[in-house]
Amino acid sequence: MNYDNILVDYFNGITTIKINRPKKLNALNRDTIQELHNAFDDANNNEDTKVIIITGSGEKAFVAGADISEFADFSVKEGGKLAAEGQKLLFDFIENLQTPVIAAVNGFALGGGLELAMASHFRIASTNAKMGLPETSLGVIPGYGGTQRLPQLVGKGRAMEMIMTAGMIDANQALNYGLVNHVVAQDELVPFAEKLAGKIMRNSSVAIGKAIKAINANYKDGKDGYKIEIKQFGKCFGTEDFVEGTTAFLEKRKADFPGK
């Protein structure tokens, strides 16, 4: 499928999705959000894709925020609709994908860009990365899940400070906060993400999908994460991957998992 705002590449079990609006510092607009949804959906439904990497084109930005020109004159109703549709179409969608998503943050990840990274299952950053939620400096708040996911990742107090001050933190501070898992040089960022993807791909994609569902349940209102874990654990016993994994262990060989 051809896209106007993103580039998609598949190689050896990894689908890499790159936001490609360098002149706009890869800012998110409606068209880009729709294209990202389509690309993630296609990758998730592709049996050969075991891991998805999301990154930005160029050396300056992962995503420098939302395209403010699209909503500067919105009404209350239109603003609420923008947030609701965006969360459903992309951010919640990514968080709940059964295919692991690694955000490779190359440069600025601000506003909607940081929210996109936080919706991914985990994040790595280049040494020049800068992250923040500057929405309060525009008279608005994060609307794509930022007020919920940031406290989950860095704690309530740090999230409050970041959102209230509208400030940025650098890659090392993000690492210290637990916002990213690793910091590497920019030219090593995607290769490092691919290396992590390789480690993930040695394991059962079916089991990983069930683990994502169980982990996410702990952060959803009205869900008992322990019960979801028990249910997903039980379901694993009915899969080909479980048979292969346990048989390989008993036979003292490397497992060859069937796939999704």
pLDDT tens for each residue of 24-61: 999 999 999 999 999 999 999 999 999 999 999 998 99
- In the block, which residue shows the tokens 């002149």? 23
pLDDT category at 70 given cuts 50, 70, 90 is confident
Query: What's the number of domains the chain is made of?
Result: 2
257 vs 72, which has greater pLDDT? 257
Q: What is the mean pLDDT of residues 76-82?
A: 94
Count Cα atoms within 13 angstroms, Cβ side, for 58.
17
- What pLDDT, on the 0 to 100 scale, is given for residue 141? 96
Least confident range of 13-17, 22-26, 174-178, 208-212: 22-26
Judgement on whether residues 150 and 233 belong to the same structural domain of the protein: no
Mean of pLDDT values over 80-91: 95
Give me the domain span that covers residue 224: 205-250
Structure tokens belonging to residue 152: 């989950």
Whether residue 157 is found in the same domain as residue 29: yes
Residue 66 has pLDDT above 90, yes or no: no
Cα–chain-centroid distance for residue 244? 29
pLDDT reported for residue 259: 73
pLDDT on residue 215: 97
Same structural domain, 114 and 210: no
User: 102 lies in a domain?
Assistant: yes
CA 102, chain centre distance (Å): 6
Task: Give per-residue burial for 51-89: e unless 16+ CB within 10 Å, then b.
Answer: bbbbbbbbeebbbbbbbeeebeeeeeeeeeebbeebbeb
pLDDT in tens, 155-199: 999 999 999 999 999 999 999 999 999 999 999 999 999 999 999
pLDDT at 257 over 80: yes
Question: Are residue 155 and residue 210 in the same domain, yes or no?
Answer: no
* 222 part of a folded domain: yes
- pLDDT given at position 67: 83
Of 131, 132, 130, 28, nearest in space to 87 by CA? 28
**Model confidence, pTM:** 0.95
pLDDT at residue 258 is higher than 80: yes
Q: What is the pLDDT of residue 75?
A: 94
134-140 long-range Cβ contacts below 8 angstroms, 24+ apart: 134/65, 134/110, 134/166, 134/167, 134/168, 135/111, 135/163, 135/166, 136/163, 136/164, 136/166, 137/166, 138/68, 140/79
Residues classed as catalytic: 115, 135
Q: For 139, left (φ over 0), alpha (ψ -120 to 50), or beta?
A: left
Confidence of residue 231 (pLDDT cuts 50, 70, 90): very high
**236 in the same domain as 114:** no
pLDDT tens digits, residue range 132-141? 999 999 999 9
In this structure, the answer to whether residues 120 and 156 fall within a common structural domain is yes
Do residue 217 and residue 101 come from a single domain?
no
Res 204 pLDDT > 80: yes
Percent of the chain with pLDDT over 70: 100
Short-list 166, 167, 165, 192, CA closest to 180 = 192
Give residue for tokens 């039980």: 234
* Same-domain pairing of 21 and 144: yes
Question: Mean pLDDT of all residues in the chain?
Answer: 96
Averaged pLDDT, 237-250: 96
242, 134: one domain:
no
1 has pLDDT over 90 = no
Question: What distance in Å separates the CA atoms of residue 176 and residue 181, rounded to the nearest whole number?
Answer: 9
